[in-house]
Amino acid sequence: MTNVLLIIFIISLFYVSIANRLITYVRVLALQGFILFGVTFMQLNDIETWNLVLIMLETIVFKAIAVPLFLGYLIKRNKITRVAEPYLSNFMSLIIVTAIVVITVVLANSIQDPLLNKIFFIVSLSTLFTGLYFIASRKKIITHVMGYLMIENGVFVLSLAAGNEMPNLVNLGIMLDVFASVMILGIFFNKIGDVFKDADVDQLTDMKDY
Partner 1 sequence: MTAIYFITAFLIAILLLANRNNALNRVLIILFGLIQTGFTFYACYNYKSSSLVYFTFDSLGILLLMTLTVITIPALLHSYLYIERHSETPASKAIYYAALVSLITSVTAAYLANHIAVIWIFTEMTTLSASMLIYHHRNKLALEGTWKYVFICAISITFVFIGILFLSLSLRSSGTNDLSFANLMAYKDHLNPFWLRLAFLFIFTGFTAKLGLVPMYTAGIDAKDIAPAPAGALLASVLMNMGFVAIFRFYAIIANTSLYNWANLIVIIAALLSIFVATVYMTKVLNIKRMFAYSGIEHMGIVMLGVAAGGVGYYAAVLHIILHALVKSSLFFQFNQLYRTFQSKSIEHAGNYFKYNPAGAIVILFGFISATAMPPSGMFVSEFLIFRSLFEGGHIIILLVVLLLLTIVIWAFGKNTLKILFLPVAGIDESIIPKISPWESLSQYVLLLTAVWLGLNPPLAFVELLKDAVKILPN
DSSP state letter for 201? G
Q: Does 168 bind partner 1 (CB under 8 A)?
A: yes
Sequence letter at residue 135? I
Q: In angstroms, rounded to a whole number, what is the distance separating the alpha carbons of residues 43 and 60?
A: 16
Residues touching partner 1, count (CB under 8 A): 39
Q: Does 58 bind partner 1 (CB under 8 A)?
A: no
Q: In angstroms, rounded to a whole number, what is the distance separating the alpha carbons of residues 209 and 112?
A: 48
Which residue, among 181, 119, 157, has the nearest Cα to 40 in the 3D structure?
Answer: 157
Give the distance from CA 117 to its chain's centroid.
20
Task: By CB under 8 A, name the one of 42, 69, 136, 172 that touches partner 1.
Answer: 172
Task: By CB under 8 A, name the one of 116, 118, 136, 186 that touches partner 1.
Answer: 116
78 to each of 107, 137, 185, how far by Cα in Å?
42, 22, 13
Q: Does 208 bind partner 1 (CB under 8 A)?
A: yes
Q: CB under 8 A: which stretch of 33-41, 77-85, 89-97, 107-115 binds partner 1? A: 107-115
**What SS3 class is residue 148?**
helix
Nearer to partner 1, 46 or 89 (CB): 46
Residues that bind partner 1 (CB under 8 A): 111, 113, 115-116, 128, 135, 141, 144, 148, 151-152, 155, 158-159, 161-162, 165-166, 168-169, 172-173, 175-176, 179-180, 183-184, 188, 191-192, 195-196, 204, 206-210
